[in-house]
Amino acid sequence: MHCAFCASSNQAEFPAEVNIHFSGVKNLDRPSVMVFPKLLVCLDCGFSQFTSPAAGLALLTSGAGTREASSRQEKADDIVLCV
């Protein structure tokens, strides 16, 4: 696979933690969504990309659930919600 930005093939994959917040003042009380994707980094230009795991994507699509869901934990490969 080649870098989408500079077309280099000098890339490496790293485990990552990404905490996704909903933007806007109205979303301050919404729990964030923590996902644990594999991050693909171009070692020449720094362009990075990842794909959200299915469980995290479902929470993002539904608006991160409710406050009750904030204490729910699943496998680290999927998601952990934080408040």
Residue extents of the structural domains in the chain: 15-37+51-82
pLDDT given at position 64:
54
pLDDT given at position 62:
85
Per-residue pLDDT of the chain in tens (83 residues, 90 and over written 9)? 899 999 999 999 999 999 999 988 988 888 889 999 999 999 999 999 999 889 888 888 887 544 434 433 344 444 444 43
pLDDT given at position 63:
78
Q: pTM for the complete prediction? A: 0.65
Q: Count the neighbouring beta carbons within 10 Å of the beta carbon of residue 64.
A: 22
Tokens at residue 24, please? 């806007």
Q: What one-character DSSP code corresponds to residue 30? A: S
Tokens at residue 54, please? 């299915």
